[in-house]
Amino acid sequence: STERQAGGVTGFTDNPVNAAMARVLDDVRREDHPGAVADYIPQLATADPEAFGVASVSVHGHSYGAGDYRVPFTIQSMSKPFVYALALEALGVEAVCARIGVEPSGEAFNGISFDPSGRPENPLINAGAIVSTSLIPGVDGAERFATIRDGLSRFAGRELELDEAVYRSESETGFRNLALAALARSTDALRVPIEDALDPYFRQCSLLVDAHDVAVMGGTLANGGVNPVTGERVVSTAVAQHVLSVMTGCGMYDRSGAWMVSVGIPAKSGVGGGIVAATPGEYGICVFSPPLDEAGNSSRGVAVLQRMSSEFGLHLL
Ligand code: DON
């Protein structure tokens, strides 16, 4: 039976998984994990640095959580694998891979990382994510965002809302993303007007989620594309496998190699402080803590997933 009920998640206390996750949060809270809340988008700087939560959802639809797993925050770059999945589902692997690579860039999330044929190196850096967004069917940016919001809501199992203030803040200050989109347009990776890709990209990053929502999203990938809570098939099994493979190599930017060695779970971080992880056939997990390390990954989030991986034997290898 699932613990999810209308209006919230219940049954979170008298359960060994919840107790173990609460203990992991306490342990990590006591350690020193230096980090700073992202401030390159002014509105993100208002996040509470002490917010800290974790949620997991099994492929059978059981929900677990500890700490601030019901505190809303913006999805940011954790949207990227899911929009990429929607693009693959709509266009097929060949068409998408003709425009976006699947290689780790070894560079920062906002790096100028294009391969010799002009494709962004992968869909999880900003350049590749903007191209993914451009591939979502729609006559313009508004229609594209409507499709994205609907798709991400199906991954989450509930209708996701936009944080207008973060969206405005990001679109007023996103000059580097404008430059990356212009470079992608110059190489022909991007074939729609820049605004019709960039505006829905800023909006997708500004969708509000909590850790439980994102654990369901990750659980949908872990479950071969079927949402484990609603039972709805969101993408094909092949698409879910493809996306998890790319997350394995590229999800943590220039820390992806160290991440695979120490944690060993496909994952994706966001500058809102979330990290989504998915153990194939088992769990979707999301940790939330806004202060970020130098690579732009949640400092406490990395520590929690390291610990959960070793304590619960989640390393894939
Ligand atoms: O493109 C941006 O600047 C952000 N909206 C998303 C970047 C992000 O989350 C990078 N992640 N660690």
- Residues 136-151 have pLDDT tens digits of 999 999 999 999 999 9
What pLDDT does 13 receive? 52
What pLDDT does 253 receive? 84
Q: What is the CA(67)–ligand 1 centre distance, in A?
A: 24
Which ipTM score applies to this complex? Answer: 0.92
Asked if the model's pLDDT at residue 4 lies above 80, the reply is: no
Asked if the model's pLDDT at residue 5 lies above 60, the reply is: no
pLDDT band at 170 (very low <50, low <70, confident <90, very high): very high
Distance between CA atoms of 125 and 29, rounded to whole angstroms? 29
Catalytic residue status for 79? no
Catalytic residue among 105, 201, 243, 302: 201
pLDDT band at 53 (very low <50, low <70, confident <90, very high): very high
pLDDT band at 241 (very low <50, low <70, confident <90, very high): very high
Asked if the model's pLDDT at residue 109 lies above 60, the reply is: yes
What pLDDT does 1 receive? 32
Q: Which residues make Cβ contacts (< 8 Å) with residue 242, sequence separation at least 6?
A: 88, 93
Residue 186: burial class (beta carbons within 10 Å; 0-12, 13-18, 19+) = exposed
- Residues 269-295 have pLDDT tens digits of 999 999 999 999 999 999 999 999 998
Residue 62, both tokens: 């059981």
Question: For residues 187 and 218, is the Cβ–Cβ distance under 8 A?
Answer: no
What pLDDT does 254 receive? 87
Q: Which residues make Cβ contacts (< 8 Å) with residue 169, sequence separation at least 6?
A: 41, 42, 43, 44
Mean pLDDT across the stretch 140-165? 98
Name the CA dihedral angle for 68, 62, 251, 45, rounded to a multiple of 10 degrees: -20
- Residues 181-224 have pLDDT tens digits of 999 999 999 999 999 999 999 999 999 999 999 999 999 999 99
**Atom 1, ligand 1: residue with shortest CA distance:** 126
Q: At what angle do helices 194-205 and 141-156 cross, to 10 degrees?
A: 30
Q: Which of 109, 201, 202 to mutate to test the pocket of ligand 1 (most atoms within 8 A of CB)?
A: 109
- Name the β-bridge partners of 292: 36, 298
Residue 292, both tokens: 């970020």
User: Which is it for strands 267-269 and 274-279: parallel, antiparallel or unpaired?
Assistant: antiparallel
Catalytic residue among 24, 80, 299, 309: 80
Distance between CA atoms of 50 and 33, rounded to whole angstroms? 12
Mean pLDDT of the chain: 94
